[in-house]
A and B are shown apart, each in its own frame.
Chain A
Amino acid sequence: MPVLLPTDALVWLLVAAVAAFAWYSSRRPHLAAPWARVLRSRAAVASAVVLGCFMLVGLLDSLHYRPALPAKDPGAPVAYSVEVRSALDALLTPLRTKLEKTYSAPLATRLYQKETVERPDGSTAREFPRLAHGGAHLKDEARWGRDVALRILAGLAGAVALWSLAVLAGRRTLARRWPRVPWSAAAAALGGLLALAGPAAMLAGGYHVLGTSQVGSDVLYQALKSIRTSLVIGTLTTLVLLPLGIVAGIAAGYFKGWVDDVIQYLYTTLNSIPGVLLIAASVLMVQVYVDTHPELFPTSAQRADFRLLALCAILGAVSWTGLARLLRGETLKLAELEYIQAAHAFGVSHSRVLGRHILPNVAHIVIISLVLDFSGLVLAEAVLSYVGVGVDPSTTSFGTMINAARLEMAREPMVWWSLAAAFFFMFALVLAANLFADAVRDGFDPRVRV
Chain B
Amino acid sequence: MSAALELAGLRTTLDTPRGELRGVDGVDLAIARGECFALVGESGCGKSMTALSVLRLLPEAGRITGGSVRLGELDLLALPEAAMRTVRGRRVAMIFQEPSTALNPVLTVGRQVAEVIERHTSLRGAAVRARVLELLGAVGIPEPERRMHEYAFQLSGGLRQRAMIAGALAVDPEVLIADEPTTALDVTIQAQILELLAKLQRERGMALLLITHDLGIVAKMADRVAVMYAGEIVEVAPRAAFFRAPQHPYSQKLFAALPGAAQRAGPLAQIPGQVPPLTQAFAGCRFAERCELAFERCRREPPQPIALESGHEVRCHLRERERAAPRAAPAGEPAARAAAAARPLLEVRDLKVHFPIRRGVLRRTVGHVKAVDGVSLAVAEGRTLALVGESGSGKTTVGKAILQLLRPTAGSVRYAGEELTGLARAAMKRHRAAMQIVFQDPYASLNPRMRVADILAEGMRSLGVGATEAERARRIGALLEQVGLPADAQARYPHEFSGGQRQRVAIARALAVEPRLIVCDEPTSALDVSVQAQILNLLRALQERLGLAYLFITHNLAVVEYLAHEVAVMRGGQIVEQGPAGQVLGAPRHEYTRALLAAVPKVD
Binding site for B on A (CB under 8 A): 29-30, 337-339, 341-349, 352, 356-357, 360-361, 449-450
Convert B421-461 into 0s and 1s, putting 1 for each residue whose CB lies closer than 8 angstroms to a CB of A.
Answer: 00001001100100111011100111111100000001100
The 3 A-B pairs with the shortest beta carbon distances in the complex, nearest first, are: A346-B459, A338-B445, A347-B429
Distance, CA A357 to CA B462, complexed state (A): 14
Q: Can you list 8 A-B pairs, Cβ within 8 angstroms, ordered by A?
A: A29-B493, A30-B448, A345-B435, A346-B462, A347-B429, A356-B447, A361-B447, A361-B448
Which of A342, A344, A349, A360 is the one whose CB lies under 8 Å from B445?
A342
Q: A30-B495, A361-B447, A449-B495 are in contact. List 12 more A-B contacts (CB 8 A).
A: A338-B439, A338-B444, A339-B447, A342-B437, A342-B439, A342-B506, A342-B510, A345-B435, A347-B432, A356-B450, A361-B449, A450-B495
B265 within 8 A of A: no
Known: A29-B493, A339-B445. A345 touches B436 (CB 8 A): yes
- Which A residues touch B493, using CB under 8 A? 29-30
- Which B residues touch A338, using CB under 8 A? 439-441, 444-445
B403 within 8 A of A: yes
- Find out whether the CB atom of A345 lies under 8 angstroms from the CB atom of B405: yes
- Find out whether the CB atom of A344 lies under 8 angstroms from the CB atom of B405: yes
- Find out whether the CB atom of A30 lies under 8 angstroms from the CB atom of B436: no
B565 within 8 A of A: no
Binding site for A on B (CB under 8 A): 16-18, 400, 403, 405, 425, 428-429, 432, 435-437, 439-441, 444-450, 458-459, 462-463, 493, 495, 506, 509-510, 513
- Which A residues touch B513, using CB under 8 A? 346
- Find out whether the CB atom of A342 lies under 8 angstroms from the CB atom of B509: yes
Q: How far is the CB of A29 from chain B (nearest CB, A)?
A: 7
- Find out whether the CB atom of B458 lies under 8 angstroms from the CB atom of A356: yes
Which of A29, A343, A360 is the one whose CB lies under 8 Å from B458?
A343
- Which A residues touch B435, using CB under 8 A? 345
- Which B residues touch A339, using CB under 8 A? 444-447
- Find out whether the CB atom of A345 lies under 8 angstroms from the CB atom of B403: yes
Distance, CA A350 to CA B487, complexed state (A): 31
Q: How far is the CB of B172 from chain A (nearest CB, A)?
A: 37
Distance, CA A155 to CA B510, complexed state (A): 69
- Which A residues touch B441, using CB under 8 A? 338
Known: A30-B493, A341-B400. A352 touches B462 (CB 8 A): yes
Nearest neighbor of B513 in chain A, beta-carbon distance: A346
Distance, CA A346 to CA B462, complexed state (A): 7
Distance, CA A361 to CA B400, complexed state (A): 23
- Which A residues touch B437, using CB under 8 A? 341-342, 345
Q: How far is the CB of A233 from chain B (nearest CB, A)?
A: 32
- Find out whether the CB atom of B444 lies under 8 angstroms from the CB atom of A347: no
- Which B residues touch A343, using CB under 8 A? 458
Q: How far is the CB of A53 from chain B (nearest CB, A)?
A: 32
Q: How far is the CB of B405 from chain A (nearest CB, A)?
A: 5
- Which A residues touch B440, using CB under 8 A? 338
Q: How many residue-residue contacts, CB under 8 A, span A and B?
A: 67
Distance, CA A70 to CA B403, complexed state (A): 78
Which of B446, B447, B462, B495 is the one whose CB lies under 8 Å from A347?
B462
- Which B residues touch A352, using CB under 8 A? 462
Nearest neighbor of B426 in chain A, beta-carbon distance: A347
Which of A348, A361, A450 is the one whose CB lies under 8 Å from B462?
A348
Which residue, of A346, A352, A357, has the highest number of chain B Cβ atoms within 10 A?
A: A346
Nearest neighbor of B492 in chain A, beta-carbon distance: A29
Q: How far is the CB of A343 from chain B (nearest CB, A)?
A: 7
- Which A residues touch B439, using CB under 8 A? 338, 341-342
Q: How far is the CB of B506 from chain A (nearest CB, A)?
A: 8
Distance, CA A346 to CA B403, complexed state (A): 10
- Which A residues touch B17, using CB under 8 A? 450
Distance, CA A58 to CA B445, complexed state (A): 45
Known: A341-B405, A342-B439, A352-B462. A347 touches B448 (CB 8 A): no
Distance, CA A361 to CA B449, complexed state (A): 7
Q: How far is the CB of B303 from chain A (nearest CB, A)?
A: 32
Distance, CA A346 to CA B441, complexed state (A): 18
Known: A341-B400, A356-B447, A450-B17. A348 touches B436 (CB 8 A): no
- Which A residues touch B448, using CB under 8 A? 30, 361
Distance, CA A339 to CA B437, complexed state (A): 10
Known: A346-B432, A347-B432, A348-B458. A357 touches B463 (CB 8 A): no
- Which A residues touch B462, using CB under 8 A? 346-349, 352
- Find out whether the CB atom of B428 lies under 8 angstroms from the CB atom of A347: yes
Q: How far is the CB of B327 from chain A (nearest CB, A)?
A: 37
- Which B residues touch A345, using CB under 8 A? 403, 405, 432, 435-437
Q: How far is the CB of B329 from chain A (nearest CB, A)?
A: 40
- Find out whether the CB atom of B447 lies under 8 angstroms from the CB atom of A357: yes
Q: How far is the CB of A217 from chain B (nearest CB, A)?
A: 51
Nearest neighbor of A448 in chain B, beta-carbon distance: B17
Distance, CA A111 to CA B254, complexed state (A): 91
Nearest neighbor of B506 in chain A, beta-carbon distance: A342
Q: How far is the CB of B535 from chain A (nearest CB, A)?
A: 16
- Which B residues touch A349, using CB under 8 A? 462
Distance, CA A300 to CA B7, complexed state (A): 81
- Which B residues touch A360, using CB under 8 A? 447, 449-450
Q: How far is the CB of B186 from chain A (nearest CB, A)?
A: 21
Distance, CA A348 to CA B432, complexed state (A): 10
- Which B residues touch A347, using CB under 8 A? 425, 428-429, 432, 462-463
Distance, CA A43 to CA B450, complexed state (A): 32
- Which A residues touch B450, using CB under 8 A? 356, 360
Distance, CA A339 to CA B449, complexed state (A): 11
Nearest neighbor of B437 in chain A, beta-carbon distance: A345
Distance, CA A320 to CA B513, complexed state (A): 41
Q: How far is the CB of B401 from chain A (nearest CB, A)?
A: 12
- Which B residues touch A361, using CB under 8 A? 447-449
Q: How far is the CB of A311 from chain B (nearest CB, A)?
A: 35
Distance, CA A29 to CA B491, complexed state (A): 11
Q: How far is the CB of A341 from chain B (nearest CB, A)?
A: 6
- Find out whether the CB atom of A30 lies under 8 angstroms from the CB atom of B445: no
Distance, CA A137 to CA B405, complexed state (A): 82
Nearest neighbor of A37 in chain B, beta-carbon distance: B17
- Which B residues touch A450, using CB under 8 A? 16-18, 495
Which residue, of B444, B449, B495, B509, has the highest number of chain A Cβ atoms within 10 A?
A: B449
Distance, CA A393 to CA B71, complexed state (A): 76
Nearest neighbor of A360 in chain B, beta-carbon distance: B449
Distance, CA A346 to CA B313, complexed state (A): 53
Distance, CA A338 to CA B493, complexed state (A): 17
Distance, CA A341 to CA B450, complexed state (A): 15
Q: How far is the CB of A179 from chain B (nearest CB, A)?
A: 16
Nearest neighbor of B446 in chain A, beta-carbon distance: A339
Distance, CA A55 to CA B25, complexed state (A): 52
Distance, CA A347 to CA B461, complexed state (A): 10
- Which B residues touch A344, using CB under 8 A? 405
Q: How far is the CB of B568 from chain A (nearest CB, A)?
A: 21
- Which B residues touch A449, using CB under 8 A? 495
Distance, CA A449 to CA B494, complexed state (A): 13
- Which B residues touch A341, using CB under 8 A? 400, 405, 437, 439
Distance, CA A347 to CA B437, complexed state (A): 12
Distance, CA A389 to CA B595, complexed state (A): 74
Q: How far is the CB of A383 from chain B (nearest CB, A)?
A: 37
- Which A residues touch B400, using CB under 8 A? 341
Nearest neighbor of A348 in chain B, beta-carbon distance: B462
Q: How far is the CB of B554 from chain A (nearest CB, A)?
A: 16
- Which A residues touch B429, using CB under 8 A? 347
Distance, CA A348 to CA B462, complexed state (A): 6
